[in-house]
Amino acid sequence: MTVSIKTPEEQDKMREAGRLAASVLLMIEEHVKPGVTTDHLNSLCHDFIVNELDAVPAPLGYGGAGSRPPFPKSVCTSVNHVVCHGIPGPKKLKKGDAVNIDVTVIKDGFHGDTSKMFFAGEPTIRGRRLAELAHQAMVAGIEQVKPGATLGDIGHAIQTLVESNGGSVVREYCGHGIGRVFHEDPQVLHYGRPGKGLALQAGMTFTIEPMVNAGRRDVRLLPDEWTVVTKDHSLSAQWEHTILVTNSGYEVLTLRNGEI
């Protein structure tokens, strides 16, 4: 495993990429409402990233290795029981739908990656509670970050919180190192044992992005080779931030108006 330690100059570029990624989520919020298609949301995000931010949408054309086709859109939109990597399309959002919008931008060669939950109109009680639990889980993981802590500390904090509140943590997909490359080492699992795994060092940058299901943790991949759904069709929720390990703890590089 080769983990990239960012220089102060590289950290500044990561901050800028993270700031821009966060700004996309701020921009799109008012447009998430019943009757809107996820393809329209994708188009708005694409235009904003390219024309307003002068950046590159990292998901567009990503992948394509082996039999899997390149990702065809500029953001991921995962609605209700879609866990992650949902492909924007023509289906209109209905009142109460929960949708995760996952944004990654490239600016000056560095990636900023973040996602959050939105609702089309008034959320269902169950949907709101699950989104809140997923957010709390992400924050619990972030709060473990400091030099000398381990990846297992992060995963354990997330898993403990989620399972003690009746949810389940998806294990097939995880956070990841990020920088010049979209997906770098290390893998950041959202379950684990305290004290186990790689020890964190100042200068590391990675995402924490727990996927939390209302039902069982089992998932399946759809024939499009991208979209991941819950096997039992239960709701799923996810939040994501890009994190920098600092000398004294952590810095969230993708804050929106100062809010985690």
Could you tell me which residues come within 8 angstroms of residue 166 by beta carbon, excluding any fewer than 6 positions away?
none
Q: What is the model's pLDDT at position 65?
A: 77
The architecture in CATH of the region 8-252 reads: Alpha-Beta Complex (3.90)
pLDDT at 84: 98
Residues of the chain with pLDDT under 50: none
Residue 67: predicted pLDDT: 77
Q: Which residues pair with 148 in a beta bridge?
A: none
CA separation for the pair 146, 83 (Å, rounded): 28
**Domain ranges (residues) in the chain:** 8-252
Q: How far apart are CA 102 and CA 116, in angstroms?
A: 7
pLDDT (0 to 100) of residue 64: 81
**Which runs of E-coded beta strand occur in the chain?**
56-57, 76-79, 82-84, 98-107, 110-119, 168-169, 175-177, 184-188, 205-208, 211-213, 219-221, 228-230, 236-238, 241-245, 250-252
> How do residues 143-200 score in pLDDT, each as one tens digit?
999 999 999 999 999 999 999 999 999 999 999 999 999 999 999 999 999 999 999 9
Strand partners, 208: 241
pLDDT on residue 227 = 98
Cα separation, 29 vs 9, whole angstroms: 31
Structure tokens belonging to residue 2: 């080769």
* pLDDT score, position 66: 78
